[in-house]
Amino acid sequence: MNVTVRSTSPVEALVFIPDHGMTSRLFAAQIDALSLERPVTVALPIGGERIEEIATRLLPHLPQRMALIGQGLGGALALELQRRAPDRVSRLGLIATSPFSETPPEAAERETRMIALRARRVAEWLSQEYPPGAIAAPQARSALRAELLAQAEALGPETILAQARALQRRRDLQGNLRRCLAPIAIIAGAADPLCSTRRLNVMETLAPAAKLHLVEGAGHFPTLEAPETMLALFRSLLAQPLVLR
């Protein structure tokens, strides 16, 4: 039997996990606000070329009780961490995250984009990975692309290449969603051309305690494009009652 309760234990820590090619700056506005309310940390998805390897490296260093919010690769890693340590992960926020393994055509397309990384052309990779339409508002594209490029260059091509391989080799995570009883916020920009609404709806159907949120006026980077809306969504997720098994 599952029992829904509002926890009276000390507030859990919040761990942000950025997407590949991105740093803590992806969540800068939300970190500034939420760090005044609870312990907040960032776990970069690095240290392996498979999600399982990265999870093995990270898990011993993460808080004993935590909420996980991840984007893209970070969301896939959050699902893997929850699978391994369900008693430690209280809730999940999954932004622009796919639980599906890559199809052969998708993996081949990613391999083509990885050529720029092998040649150390980070700006070229960024343009291929995230076309201009990935940022919803045309007037915001120049500034946000400069921000994204700064993050990617801070990581460097070798790190991003390993992250891209981890995405390319990820296993299907639909079973993780089915078994996860923790509250899940599935989040995407309403104008994100890189996220399939059909797949997002499937995710919401798979997870017992999931809710889909489409952020109006945002593309693939809602934490940067709609920071206040995302902060409100995160606070709502963190306030949800827990399900005890």
| Distance (Å, whole) CA 193 – CA 57 | 32
Q: Model-level pTM?
A: 0.94
- CB–CB of 72/19 below 8 Å? yes
- CB–CB of 195/96 below 8 Å? yes
| Distance (Å, whole) CA 31 – CA 221 | 15
| Distance (Å, whole) CA 97 – CA 201 | 12
In the 8-state DSSP scheme, what is residue 103? P
Quick one: pLDDT at residue 245?
A: 53
Sheet holding 89-95, edge to edge: 40-42, 13-17, 66-71, 89-95, 184-189, 210-215
Quick one: pLDDT at residue 242?
A: 72
Q: For the chain, 245 residues long, give each residue's pLDDT as a single digit of tens.
A: 343 434 444 689 999 999 999 999 999 999 999 999 999 999 999 999 999 999 999 999 999 999 999 999 999 999 999 999 999 999 999 999 999 999 999 999 999 999 999 999 999 999 999 999 999 999 999 999 999 999 999 999 999 999 999 999 999 999 999 999 999 999 999 999 999 999 999 999 999 999 999 999 999 999 999 999 999 999 999 999 876 55
Topology of domain 3-103+161-244, CATH: Rossmann fold (3.40.50)
